[in-house]
């Protein structure tokens, strides 16, 4: 329905889509199960404070013998200045802590330079790491950002550093990071990849679904889609399953009320379909979906405005 050449959530059975649309916020709260926890926050302040605290909790566990890191998103970003402020105020020494960026734009055969206005690395540094007291900062070697030279980033996941949590947002196309659904071509003309095949994917260069390009134009360039790359480098499911916990944060800024309900329902009921990449998290042993009550989770009501 949205892009005929692609798989996406509009290729699912209408019965499932309608079931998701009918869910009230109170219904979503009841979707928790073993391995999947749904948490609601009453205010935006509490929401982003809780997200920032996941950084602090992870980094405080890190020691020279047992380094610990967190993999963090660019959507959302509001938690990042809070992280820097808490590190400075609490005087947390990050010498042995690590951080993985989730993804980066890819254009003309290389990653977007960190000086570019929409570079994800630039945002992480400007909003968080450059604001931390130099005496407390982690070494540059402990910051891992995806590059066109994929091996360096991939290998950083296998150097004995424990990833306590991978955070993420949810895109309009129901991805985490840039794990977008596949094009309907070649081997995937008649069916998307199997969950087993998708799960094996590691950090890679991906083609972006048109909905993803439109969303990022809306959030990063006032809708001027001309400046949004059509490819990106993204952390894969392989690395995601190396994280002890996957924590998804939805304040209503990125995906809409329907999307927030659909993926929660699929993960809760273990309905896995790679046309909805987020549904693969149904098989991860420790997943938490975080919602903002009220306008964040919103409602699915059909009416003219």
* 175-228 per-position pLDDT tens digit: 999 999 999 999 999 999 999 999 999 999 999 999 999 998 888 888 888 889
The answer to whether 259 touches 20, Cβ cutoff 8 Å, is: no
Q: Name the nearest CA neighbour of 164 among 101, 244, 96.
A: 244
Reported residue count of the chain is 305
In this structure, what CATH number is given to the domain that contains residue 182?
Answer: 3.40.50.1360
235-270: pLDDT as tens digits:
999 999 999 999 999 999 889 999 999 999 999 999
pLDDT of 221 reads 84
256 lies in some domain: yes
pLDDT of 302 reads 83
pLDDT of 220 reads 85
Buried b (16+ CB within 10 A) or exposed e, 186-210: eebeeebbebeebbebebbebebbb
Report H helices in the chain.
14-21, 25-29, 44-60, 79-90, 120-127, 150-156, 195-199, 210-220, 237-240, 257-268
Give dist(CA 5, CA 50) in Å, integer: 39
302 lies in some domain: no
Task: Specify the pTM.
Answer: 0.95
Give dist(CA 161, CA 180) in Å, integer: 27
Lay out the sheet containing 110-111: strands in order across: 110-111, 103-107, 231-234, 204-207
pLDDT of 182 reads 97
191 lies in some domain: yes
The answer to whether 78 touches 48, Cβ cutoff 8 Å, is: yes
Give dist(CA 143, CA 151) in Å, integer: 15
91 lies in some domain: yes
Per-residue tokens: 47: 């929401």
pLDDT of 303 reads 83
Q: What is the CA radius of gyration of the chain?
A: 19
Q: Name the nearest CA neighbour of 276 among 166, 193, 169, 189.
A: 193
pLDDT of 269 reads 98
300 lies in some domain: no
pLDDT of 167 reads 97
The answer to whether 97 touches 69, Cβ cutoff 8 Å, is: yes
3 lies in some domain: no
Give dist(CA 90, CA 55) in Å, integer: 13
pLDDT of 301 reads 87
pLDDT of 305 reads 76
DSSP state of 163: E
pLDDT of 150 reads 97
Domain that holds residue 167: 9-292
4 lies in some domain: no
**Which positions of the chain have pLDDT values less than 70?**
none
2 lies in some domain: no
Give the total number of structural domains in the chain: 1
Q: Name the nearest CA neighbour of 159 among 238, 242, 60, 58.
A: 242
Q: Name the nearest CA neighbour of 181 among 31, 20, 46, 2.
A: 2
pLDDT of 219 reads 84
């Amino acid at each position: 329905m949205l892009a005929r050449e692609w798989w996406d959530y509009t290729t699912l059975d209408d019965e499932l889509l309608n079931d998701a649309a009918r869910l009230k916020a109170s219904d979503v709260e009841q979707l928790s199960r073993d391995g999947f926890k749904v948490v609601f926050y009453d205010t935006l302040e509490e929401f982003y404070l809780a997200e920032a605290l996941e950084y602090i909790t992870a980094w405080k566990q890190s020691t020279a013998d047992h380094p610990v890191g967190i993999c963090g998103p660019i959507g959302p970003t509001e938690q990042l200045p809070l992280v820097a402020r808490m590190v400075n105020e609490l005087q947390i020494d990050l010498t042995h802590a690590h951080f993985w960026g989730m993804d980066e734009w890819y254009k003309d055969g290389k990653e977007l330079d960190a000086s570019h206005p929409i570079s994800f690395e630039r945002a992480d540094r400007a909003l968080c790491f450059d604001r931390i007291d130099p005496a407390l900062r982690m070494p540059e070697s402990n910051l891992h950002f995806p590059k066109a030279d994929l091996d360096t980033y991939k290998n950083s996941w296998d150097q004995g550093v424990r990833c306590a949590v991978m955070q993420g947002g949810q895109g309009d196309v129901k991805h985490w990071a840039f794990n977008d659904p596949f094009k309907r071509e070649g081997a995937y003309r008649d069916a998307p990849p199997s969950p087993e095949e998708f799960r094996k994917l590691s950090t890679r260069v991906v083609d972006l679904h048109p909905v993803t390009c439109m969303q990022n134009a809306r959030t990063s360039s006032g809708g001027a889609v001309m400046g949004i790359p059509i490819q990106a480098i993204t952390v894969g499911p392989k690395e995601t399953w190396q994280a002890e916990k996957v924590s998804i944060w939805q304040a209503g800024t990125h995906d809409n009320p329907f999307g927030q309900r659909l993926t929660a329902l699929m993960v809760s009921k273990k309905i896995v379909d790679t046309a909805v990449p987020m549904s693969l998290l149904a098989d991860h042993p420790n997943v938490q979906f975080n919602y903002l009550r009220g306008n964040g989770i919103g409602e699915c009501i059909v009416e003219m405005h």
